[in-house]
Chains A and B, each alone.
Chain A
Amino acid sequence: MYKYDEIDQQIVDERVKQYSDQTRRYLAGELSDEEFRPLRLQNGLYIQRHAPMLRIAVPYGMLSSKQLHKLADITKKYDKDYGHFSTRQNLQLNWPKLEEVPVILAELATVEMHAIQTSGNCIRNITTDQFAGIAPDEVIDPRAMAEIMRQWSTFHPEFALLPRKFKIAVSGTKQDRAIVQAHDIGMEFYTDTAGKLAIKVWVGGGLGRTPILGSVIREHLEWQHALTYCEAIIRVYNLHGRRDNAYKARIKILVKALGIEEFKNQVEAEWAHLKDAPNTITEAELLRVGKHFETMPYENVAANDAGFDAAIASNPAFAAWVKRCVHAHKQAGYRAVTLSLKPHGKAPGDATSAQMHTVADLAMQYSFGELRVSHEQNLILADVKISDLFAVWEKARAAGLATPNIGLLTDIICCPGGDFCSLANAKSIPIAEAIQMQFDNLDYLHDIGDIELNISGCMNACGHHHVGHIGILGVDKDGSEWYQVTIGGKQGNDASIGAVIGPSFSADEMPGVVQKLIDVYVKERTAEERFIDTVRRLGVAPFKAHVYNKDLSTKTDEVLA
């Protein structure tokens, strides 16, 4: 992974100094709340229900063992001994003290980490596929470009105060795993007909209050121009995006208001001036950064391992884990492992400091000292030898990190919600926990198969509920907490936004509602059909009918009778 040189280190060190002084001035009354707000936000510090929250950047999800050990120590020393891995591949602390943030940043800087631009109206952490560099279906490893873009976006003076937050995702696979269409800018890398690295650029996607999938603004962009083209897009947005209403300030609203054709014309006109400007990426720079992401020093091992096969045959629990949590790898004899942060009955994405230390040790011992955070809020060991899988499983299981539910119903994506977030309409974590307990039967979960359930506590959509196969949204009705349910959302190349099934439910009803949706699926599915396929084939109606008590089973019985 990328290692800092003196220049990178100097920037984070100077940042610590700058932010410490800003905090000092705030506490001394020299900065008003309003003036301090964007400063702390651009440093990932939210003021929330109980305490501030601090979002620490994990650039494109990559972490070293050393960094994770440090994060564990920080949660122990400055927080309540746990942290929350977010859908944007970052780590969030729920209980830091505002006064201690400068010290936390100083600690982070010692392991080449920071909280720069993890929040606020600026270019945020650039996200990508958690299997970058190792996925068998990968065309291009997007991480070098992601790092180049990280550096370019860090304290970019022209885009320091945009109308609203700005999220960029990059992807280098045919099967999109980075939800590029749900980002302000999405970049899909591919090899063009001339055999050169090229980019398909999407713009104007985003979830939140007005969910919109992005439009293609350019089918083919040579890689050298990635930065200047983004500058053209963001300049048009910076100048013309709405600033009068925070809910209409995202670039997606501007793109929609102008229409993609007109927006594209304006961007291209701007880019005509910026093309080949000094921020054009050089071959040498791509090579330099690319060196940090060269393939790992893999051992030359056989594609199969007898011990592994025997363990699968004799140990159903291990076999179940392998089925859900172990993923294909481009290197023969290696696999990627997902460590589940979704044990049943716990807040999705939370990890204790002890768990973080365990994962850091596992990564050190079995996966070249590196790991990744996925946007599904799990941790990934990317390079594990097949012959080591059993040992990894045993250790992960002892630490509560081996729930074999990846991609299953209880692998819930969930925002912090009303327990922590002051914008929430409703709590989301207890709903996730209740659903996990309702389906706390692994055989049943495996039978239900691949499904994604996403929960957001309000329409800001931090839990990506629009693209969940089942989406749950907290709504406020006369001051009490209710939940609206959508089905048929999906991420990926064939992304779609879910449809609302009807009036909302109380918290108590939710596990039952999900149960009914699953019942309809189990009853109606054809062989090999996933939940989402059944929903797409049948539409919302049969699900709606059953959930709202026009009992499906009796109806069919009547027909049969």
Chain B
Amino acid sequence: MSNLIQLNTTSSEPIAKIAENNWLTIQLPASTVEARKQAGKVVLFKLTGEETVTDTQIADTVIPATGKMIVPLSVFIARKEALLSRITSGEIGVWLDTHELLSDLVKNQPDLNVLPIIAVHVERFADGRIFSLGTLLRTRYGYKNELRATGDVLRDQLFFLKRSGFSSFLIRADRSAQDALASLGDFTVPYQGAVDEPRPVFTRYNRAV
């Protein structure tokens, strides 16, 4: 059974449903460069802007010749020429890690709405950068198509992800997407404006004193 949750677009339906995953995610081959250590710990969360993917990794990434696939941002940027016709035909999406820069994406792909899907991969569920990235993609860069959360995606973050503009959620494989559906409706009337409902509660309702 699929572990993908997709928001419904019409209000007559429930908030979301379990959907088939039609996209293949392309991974980078493992790097031979040793992870930089800092204070005795592997740096999982690099300061933004640091180079994380090697040229060899990009060159060695295998992209099947046909089908719908989501490629890593670094590969997308480096090999865009070769992918151009497939991008135009809507077969190519992009995924990025939470430490990667959206400015790199828009520099190389000014019209994001050519992409049918963008995925943000979160390595650890507690990494809240994903919320700012979703918000920026929707509000700053005007991205309108499917925005997917992948990686360590768990039900207790779904409500926040949805409010930050995500429209689909690939729940971590060992968890039930069916159970997770319930958490999308945790709160009925949130206080502040966000992507899914830009108006704060004080302009949406006439709140009596």
Footprint of B on A, CB under 8 Å? 5, 7, 10-11, 14-15, 18, 22, 31, 35, 38-39, 121, 151-163, 227, 235, 238-240, 242-245, 273, 277-279, 281-282, 284-285, 288, 291-292
Instruction: Give the residues in chain A near B198, CB-CB below 8 Å.
Output: 277-278
In the complex, B194 has a CB within 8 A of chain A: yes
Q: Are A158 and B194 within 8 A (Cβ)?
A: yes
Looking across the interface, which residue of chain A has its beta carbon closest to that of B128? A161
Q: Mark B169-199, 1 if CB is under 8 A from A, else 0.
A: 0000000000000010011111111100011
Footprint of A on B, CB under 8 Å? 38-39, 41, 43-48, 125-129, 131-133, 135, 139-140, 154, 156-157, 159-164, 183, 186-194, 198-203, 205, 207-209
Instruction: Name, among A11, A14, A235, A279, the residue most crowded by chain B CB atoms within 10 Å (CB to CB).
Output: A279
Q: Are A38 and B191 within 8 A (Cβ)?
A: no
Q: Are A155 and B191 within 8 A (Cβ)?
A: yes
Q: Are A157 and B209 within 8 A (Cβ)?
A: no
Instruction: Name, among A158, A240, A242, the residue most crowded by chain B CB atoms within 10 Å (CB to CB).
Output: A158
Identify 12 residue pairs between A and B in the complex whose beta-carbon atoms are under 8 Å apart, listed by A's number: A7-B189, A11-B187, A38-B126, A39-B156, A159-B131, A161-B131, A240-B47, A240-B48, A244-B41, A278-B200, A281-B202, A285-B202
Q: Are B154 and A35 within 8 A (Cβ)?
A: yes
**How many A-B contacts are there with CB distance less than 8 Å?**
128
Q: Are A152 and B200 within 8 A (Cβ)?
A: yes
Looking across the interface, which residue of chain B has its beta carbon closest to that of A249? B45
Q: Are A5 and B199 within 8 A (Cβ)?
A: no
Which of these, A15, A153, A158, A285, contacts B164 with CB under 8 Å?
Answer: A158
Q: Are B156 and A291 within 8 A (Cβ)?
A: no
Q: What distance in Å separates the Cβ of A149 from its nearest Cβ neighbour in chain B?
A: 10
Q: What distance in Å separates the Cβ of B47 from its nearest Cβ neighbour in chain A?
A: 7
Instruction: Give the residues in chain B near A235, CB-CB below 8 Å.
Output: 132, 135
Q: What distance in Å separates the Cβ of B32 from its nearest Cβ neighbour in chain A?
A: 22
In the bound complex, how far is the Cα of B41 from the Cα of A285, in angstroms? 47
Which of these, A39, A238, A240, A245, contacts B41 with CB under 8 Å?
Answer: A245
Q: Are B129 and A282 within 8 A (Cβ)?
A: no
Q: Are B127 and A157 within 8 A (Cβ)?
A: no
Q: Are B125 and A35 within 8 A (Cβ)?
A: yes
Q: What distance in Å separates the Cβ of B193 from its nearest Cβ neighbour in chain A?
A: 4
Q: What distance in Å separates the Cβ of A554 from its nearest Cβ neighbour in chain B?
A: 48
Q: Are B201 and A121 within 8 A (Cβ)?
A: no
In the bound complex, how far is the Cα of B129 from the Cα of A235, in angstroms? 9
Which of these, A38, A160, A284, contacts B131 with CB under 8 Å?
Answer: A160
